[in-house]
Each structure stands twice: as C-alpha cells, then as structure tokens.
Structure 1
Amino acid sequence: MNEKFLKLPEEKQRKIIYAAIRVFAEKEYKHASTDRMAELAGISKGLLFFYFKNKKSLYLYVYDYLIGLIVRQLEDMDFKEEHDFFKLFELSIRVKSTLLKDNPYIHGFLLKARYEENEAVRQELSDRNKTFLEEMFPRWFPEVDFSKFKEDVDPWDVFMLLYYLGDGYLREAVCRKDFDLDRVCEDYERWMDWIKKSVYRKEYL
C-alpha cells in the first residue's frame, strides 16, 4: 500500500475503504470491479491504484481493516472484566450485529472472504483467518473461568463449534428476503444456551 493513502484525511480513507467493501461484498473477488469502487469513492481508477498497488493489496487491506475494527470494538467493551465463556460470546455477537446494522456490506464482505477460492488471495486469507482464530482465543478469553466446563470438554472445541455455527447460520440467513438480524442473534443465543447446558457443570447452569 502507498503510504500516501494513510496521509489522506480519515473521512477520505473511510470512503475509499467502504466503497471497496461494498463492491467486494456484492461480487466475488474475480468479478469485483475496481472501476465501480473508484466511482463510489469519488476518485479515478488511476488514483485508486496510486494508493494501492493492485486489487489484491486493496482486498487484503480491507480484510485486515475490518478484522482490526472488530477487535477494537470488542476491546472497547471491557471484555477482560467478563469471566464467563458464554457471556463473552454474547458480547462478540453484539459487536458484530452492531457493525452489520451500521453497514450491511461488512458481513457480506467477510463471508465472501471466508469462502473465497480465487488463487490470487485464497492462501493469504487462509493464513490470516488461521492466525486470527489462534490469537483470538487467548486474547478474548484471558480471564475466563474454564473450571465451569465438564472435565471431558475442551473449551477450544466449544469455541470452534460456536464460531462455525454462527458463521454458517449467518451465511445462510443473509440470503433470505426476510433477513432479520435481531432474530438471527436471538436464535444463536438460544442455541448457545443449549450448548452451554451440555458442556458446563451443573452447578454453573
């Protein structure tokens, strides 16, 4: 990325980033038009590539930007003060739902990125997602009381189960004409409660 992009006013940076998010959310990587991104951002295509070397560097920058945004918003919620594993997951749901309400294209972009098969970015996305998950567990659950789990339950397995449950449900739900984010969150929290009853010791239910 050209350092001159970071020297732009924050509002201008955001306009370019969110124009890219929208187009990448609407189209797969291969078919995402940089002409359309430039149009939405109110700049020329040449200027877009002046700030970013190519579409790949822009795509990966946007991905990193959104992951960083999610992490910062979680940290702003004082999650280190919460010691219950499942309540922390509820916090993460609220953060993601707030982001999606603010800009519905954000989740579309992240979902497409999760399943992107284009050779140009597939490996980089896979590496980033693996690192994100591995770092997220110790970073977001630093003070969790894992003694609440049954002896034969691995909290990491539960973490991955909840992660992919939410990911898969949202991937299907956003395609519905009657998509309702609040209902999705309610469904997920209800399922999470079922899982909690299966993996927690009785005295913590």
Structure 2
Amino acid sequence: MTHLFESLEEEKKQRILNAALNEFADHGFERASTNRIVKHAKIGKGMLFHYFNTKKDLYHYLLHYCLDKTINDYLKQIDITERDFIERFKKAGELKMELFAEHPNVLNFLGTFFLADIKELPEDIQAKYTQLQKEGYEKIYSNIDYSLFRENTDVEKAFKMINWVIEGYERELKASLKGQSFSELNMEPYFKEFYKYLDMLKSAFYKKEEGK
C-alpha cells in the first residue's frame, strides 16, 4: 500500500515523514505514538493507516527510506580516489553534514536504529543494512596510501583514534545546533574548526612534509 503514500504531493509526504522520523527517533519503536505522528503531520489517523497498515509497516518504510538516503546521498558520493585517509574522512564528514543539514531527521532516526537488534527486522532490511556496512567500510578504508603515516605507527589504532575524534566532533556539533534552522545556518565557521582538528591529527600521525 505504500504506493499510495508515494503518490502524495511532496509537501504532504515530507510532513508525514518528518513527523514519523521525529517520533521514532525520540521515543523508539515501542513507545512511539501514531497519535503524536498524525498530530504533528496534520492528518487524520485513518489516513496514516490508509498509507501504512500498521505502525510496524510505517517503521519499516522509514528504515528503507533512511538507508537508501544514506547509501545514495552519502556513501556513493565518497571519493575513494582520494588516498589520503584524513582528507577522505574530511570530505566524507562534509558530505555527512550536508546530508544532516538537508535531512536532520534521517540521521537522528538511524542513530536509534543502529542501536537496535537488526536480527528482528525483515530480511530485506537486514540485507540493505549489511550493504551499507560493507560499502561504508570499503569507501573509508580501501585504496589508502599507508606511506603517509609515520614509521612504526599502528595504523589500525590510528584509524580508530581519527574516527573517534571526527565522530565525537560531529556528535557535539549536532547537539549544539539542535533546534536551529539548517537552511539559514552558515556552516563555514564549523567546517574551519573541523579542519583544524584534522590538521592536528595529521601532525600526530603523518610524516612531516619536506620543507615544513
């Protein structure tokens, strides 16, 4: 029945998606309320169940929607020809923040999903999540120029530390910007601060460039 939902005008469809994504992100599946969803979406409850038979059907639709968004608008855009690991992470971070600015509810919703037990989900969703993990690993860690790292560096541990720093910065940034209108936000100062952290990581793990 989701074809009925897909045929809606875009503004109404996005209103329902945003209301549902927010509700599940804030309360999880069990405590999510379809009454709150229809209230924020400004539709009748009967209409919601006209598009989705059950709350679980709606939740599964949202999972497909968000995983597809992440794969197509984020992972597939990461450039693996950039062999500098930190530079690749830098560009991946920019893409992620652009996705968050345009669709904040998507990443907030997926943040709760990643903590769930995916074994309880339908096989098609499990397969899509496995695809996301596989593509994500390949996009970040394949075709890296290891010669950039200092000699005797434990590169695997360096990868983890770089990842922790970048993801920690992203979490802190999202928390500080919560509730603000991203369409009106100037992200340049935040990216400049982000790049300073990356420069510090390069100084810590990379060989010193000649002439510097």
In 2: Cα distance, 1:4 partner to 1:155 partner: 50
Matched, 1:193 2:163: no
In 1: Cα distance, 2:162 partner to 2:67 partner: 18
Shift of 1:87: 1.6
Amino acid in the other structure paired with 1:193: D
Over 3 Å counting, the alpha-carbon distance change for 1:64 and 1:89 in structure 2 is farther
- Partner residue, 1:41: 41
In 2: Cα distance, 1:107 partner to 1:177 partner: 14
In 1: Cα distance, 2:150 partner to 2:53 partner: 51
Over 3 Å counting, the alpha-carbon distance change for 1:82 and 1:173 in structure 2 is closer
Amino acid in the other structure paired with 2:108: G
- Partner residue, 1:13: 13
- Partner residue, 2:82: 82
State how 1:1-205 maps to structure 2 within 5 Å.
2-74=2-74, 79-116=79-116, 131-139=131-139, 143-150=143-150, 158-171=158-171, 174-176=174-176, 182=187, 185=191, 188-203=194-209
In 2: Cα distance, 1:119 partner to 1:81 partner: 34
In 1: Cα distance, 2:156 partner to 2:59 partner: 30
Deviates more, 1:137-146 or 1:60-69: 137-146
In 1: Cα distance, 2:204 partner to 2:71 partner: 29
Amino acid in the other structure paired with 1:43: I
In 2: Cα distance, 1:94 partner to 1:177 partner: 16
Q: Percent identity?
A: 27
RMSD over aligned CA atoms reads 4.3
Shift of 1:196: 3.1
C-alpha contact (below 8 Å) 2:86/2:202 kept by paired residues: yes
Shift of 1:141: 5.6
- Structure 1: unaligned runs, 5 residues or longer: none
Amino acid in the other structure paired with 1:36: R
The SS at the match of 2:43 is coil
Shift of 1:59: 2.6
TM-score (norm 1): 0.67
C-alpha contact (below 8 Å) 1:30/1:118 kept by paired residues: no
TM-score (norm 2): 0.66
Over 3 Å counting, the alpha-carbon distance change for 1:71 and 1:178 in structure 2 is closer
**Aligned pair count?**
204
In 2: Cα distance, 1:58 partner to 1:44 partner: 15
Amino acid in the other structure paired with 2:206: Y
Query: What per-residue deviation string (whole Å, max 9, x for no partner) do you get for residues 16-35 of structure 1?
Result: 22221222233333322222
C-alpha contact (below 8 Å) 2:75/2:135 kept by paired residues: no
- Structure 2: unaligned runs, 5 residues or longer: none
The SS at the match of 1:27 is helix
Query: What per-residue deviation string (whole Å, max 9, x for no partner) do you get for residues 48-93 of structure 1?
Result: 2333343333234323423332333346757245332212211222
In 1: Cα distance, 2:58 partner to 2:79 partner: 31
Shift of 1:136: 1.0
C-alpha contact (below 8 Å) 2:5/2:13 kept by paired residues: yes
Over 3 Å counting, the alpha-carbon distance change for 1:29 and 1:170 in structure 2 is farther
Over 3 Å counting, the alpha-carbon distance change for 1:54 and 1:168 in structure 2 is farther
